[in-house]
Structure 1
């Protein structure tokens, strides 16, 4: 039940992030460089405040406060986070929604499912069928709006997807999702001066709406959302985590209908039912990973 709730709220955060990016970048309220900078800084500040408030309650956690104190994220996770956020923003302004989603989630799937296969995670027949159906539904949803992209934008989006896949995989071994995510964002601030220096060459008209959208994208959709995702990751297989993310474009499109008054089509409704049904079928027919997670955590604690 925990895995389902964490995953659901994390996917909502991902979809919200897509909505905020679309509203800020596509509408021209801010450029990709400054959007990324504000997104990283706002996420780091938000999580630093939450960690400070949460610190006094750490001693009541199931995991010892000593163990939690040793969870400081990692440089690899932080670098992956920066690469994902920057490449996503840069590519987003040059790709339409369908093309960008196809490239991004294809890269995520290849990265995470490839890692799962490497770690000998096995899929049963029903899961393979569900996966194929979900991918087919995803293609049916996105291909009509996809156009031939420039190679540079496509490459940036592919790199972004691979980086996000790596960042997600890294979350499977974290003990304190809040601290891991918080310190990953705090470490990412070291890249801000370089990004700011480069951004000086791309200064455009930045509106207050663009700044606010970037701030909300960072603090809530990224900071809090990624913390929840890191709560879900230890409870999921890499293959499960990869497949459920195919529902993000559907959720993002629904947000677009609610907040941007976009009109749903019969194709969208059909594809959404196919994708969400297949994802549900995949998850329900997979082995639970909570017991595996508990064993991993116990082994981790013995080493301390």
Structure 2
């Protein structure tokens, strides 16, 4: 998992070789041609979690180099880079992610060079809204990273910038949660359809199962493949279970009704022929009426049980995942 960011990398250091008499030349600072940026020594800064990066060169190399009389060099470059960001999707889509941009010296240890965040460059944080995330906070850290090369332990300056991104789940409410709730609710319509309307109830049950399966598959296609269960997985799986149980309820009711009916017909067929008259008709009608009331009672119970159980699930689901704390990515 990664993110792409467009930044202005501004560095400032002092190089005694660039000192000049600003009074003599009547200059407070001089500007260097951006095409000559490779001719000036600069700290060997690199991004440790970078996957790919590039400088901008339209319409000219996007570098600004200024040197004042004290030999202080100000070097600004525009960079677009893609960096790694280990995300924890347990609460997706109600998650908050912490991504980092890590800078470090490549070859110079802390004995030679040290990096620090410029206090004067820090600006007041403004909330930035992205397509799926809201940038709610940023923070800066300075660390010393130790590497062991053979028997020698070397320390390097490390700068860390953290972005706290809160996912905007309103999109998923509209595109995922509401449609799945409607599909599950549609499966309950079968409880109001007569149990002997087999084609109608079977078609309704299979249609809702297939629709929910297709929706779940399309959602998973847009997410990274991870080995743990996400909040959206729990939601879609439970919705599928409710739809399947609604179909199973009809199958059980219809099967039970047919078994009892066949048993009664078989019993009446074993009676003497002359006895199979009005008494037989009354018995068949009584059994048929009993089966109808029994099936109707099961459907009536299902009309109340399924919505109530689904409502309880929604309350538990929202309560658990909003109370669950996000997994934070610790900085070194």
Same fold (TM over 0.5): no
TM-score by length of 2: 0.21
Q: Bigger relative contact order, structure 1 or 2, given CA contacts below 8 A and separation 6+?
A: 1
Larger Rg: 2
* Structure with the higher helix share, 1 or 2: 1
TM-score, normalised via structure 1 length: 0.22
